[in-house]
Structure 1
Amino acid sequence: MRRSGRSPSTPPSRRAPSTPPSRRGRRPRASPRRQPAPPASPRRAPPAQQAPRPRRRRFRPGQRALLEIRKYQKSTNLLIRKLPFARVVREICLDYTRGVDMQWQAMALLALQEAAEAFLVFLLEDAYLCTIHANRVTLHPKDIQLARRIRGIQGGLG
């Protein structure tokens, strides 16, 4: 019984040059045609050599997050923008006043925003404690739900 192909005893000098199987039966590709260069505008001067910009520093994983944590812990600024927060407050107010548009003083909106942000910060702190208790690092929605459930109905800032 004879196998297809050459026998292993054929000397290398008589063997046909092998081509990779992926190239067999294909036609050579034509090189893409080059487009003619557009004529140079006489008004423009050649661009001056720009100084190379320094490379941006790459932080190790987690380093940027720690920098942001320190930055936000130092500042006393509000984290939520004022106008979007005011729109949400007015929208909620419309639901409770049956479509009557109430006017809000700027200081009242500011006080409400301070209280809302303080509530969220304390809630997220408690939720992260639940995350650590579960031997995890990533905060999940179930951690926030558990923190709210443990706090109870009157779960304020304390």
Structure 2
Amino acid sequence: MARVKHTANRKDNKSSRNQPGGRSPAPSPATQPEPSGRTQRSERNSPKTPGTQKKKRPQRNAPTTPETQRKKRRFRPGTMALREIRHFQKTCSLLIPAAPFIRAVREVSNNLSHGSIRWTPDALLAIQEAAEDHLVHLFEDSMLCAIHAKRVTLMKKDFELARRIGGIGRQW
């Protein structure tokens, strides 16, 4: 059937909202209005031959079943970790969520002081940036210790050695 450009009518667009995909079926010359205001398609009443049947598309709002779900992509071990490392090395945003970090800072400052200490947002941001910078360098040094031991897995002893060499924390 040839496509013909039709002008948009406001009355016809209301019925198209109920159709999946938001499109209304193209009106055909065989469409005739009924007294109730609805249109009846002559295609529904006529038998279809195998060549003229339309393929059914899955509806967007249809519930997902195991047959229609896309299979989740399975990556090899370590691929996602390397992708995350590259992603976080490119970003310059803070990684620790702000609200829990601020709660922890206020809790520590209240435990160490007798009165309540008030913090400006800039001071809390500076503390968070310094803390994240310190943790990143500690992880880097610990990773170097693990690589020096011919391992790729970080262990507790790598952190202890990195802190001891760096002169941070004397627990020994």
Q: Greater helix percent: which structure?
A: 2
Q: Aligned residues: percent identity?
A: 52
| One-letter identity of the residue aligned with 1:115 | A
| Corresponding residue to 2:117 among 99, 102, 124 | 102
Distance 1:89 1:135 in 2: 37
Which whole-Å CA distance do the structure 1 matches of 2:97 and 2:77 have between them?
28
Q: 1:49 to 1:122 in 2, by over 3 A?
A: closer
Deviations 1:26-83 (A, max 9, x none): xxxxxxxxxxxxxxxxxxxxx9686823222110111010111011111111110001
Verify: 1:57 aligned to 2:73, yes or no. Answer: yes
Q: 1:75 matched to which residue of 2?
A: 91
1:153 CA displacement? 4.2
SS in 2 for 1:124: helix
1:136 aligns with 2:151: yes
**CA–CA distance in structure 1, aligned partners of residues 73 and 94 of structure 2:** 28
CA–CA distance in structure 1, aligned partners of residues 93 and 70 of structure 2: 32
Q: CA RMSD in A?
A: 2.1
Change (3 A) 1:56 1:123: same
User: 2: distance between equivalents of 1:87 and 1:49?
Assistant: 42
Q: Tell me how many residue pairs correspond in the alignment.
A: 107
Q: Distance in 2 between matches of 1:80 and 1:134?
A: 30
Q: Any runs of at least 4 consecutive aligned residues in structure 1 with deviations exceeding 2 A, and if so which? A: 47-51
CA gap of 1:128–1:49, structure 2 versus 1, over 3 A, is closer
Q: Classify 1:65/1:153 alpha carbon distance in 2 versus 1 (closer, same or farther; 3 Å).
A: closer
The 1:107/1:134 distance shift into structure 2, 3 A limit, reads: same
CA pair 113-48 structure 1, distance change in 2 beyond 3 A:
closer
Deviations 1:77-104 (A, max 9, x none): 1110001000111111012212x11111
Structure 1: 5+ residue runs without aligned partners?
Answer: 1-46
Q: Secondary structure of 1:102's partner? A: coil
Structure 2 counterpart of 1:101, which letter? S
Equivalent-residue separation in structure 1 for 2:133 and 2:109 (angstroms):
21
Which stretch shifts more, 47-56 or 64-73? 47-56
Structure 2 counterpart of 1:84:
100
| Structure with more contact order per residue of length (Cα contacts < 8 Å, sep ≥ 6) | 1
Partner of 2:130 in structure 1? 115
Matched residue type, 1:113: Q
Give the number of the structure whose alpha-carbon radius of gyration is greater.
1
Instruction: Name structure 2 gaps, 5 residues minimum.
Output: 1-60
1:48–1:149 distance in 2 versus 1, CA, 3 Å? closer
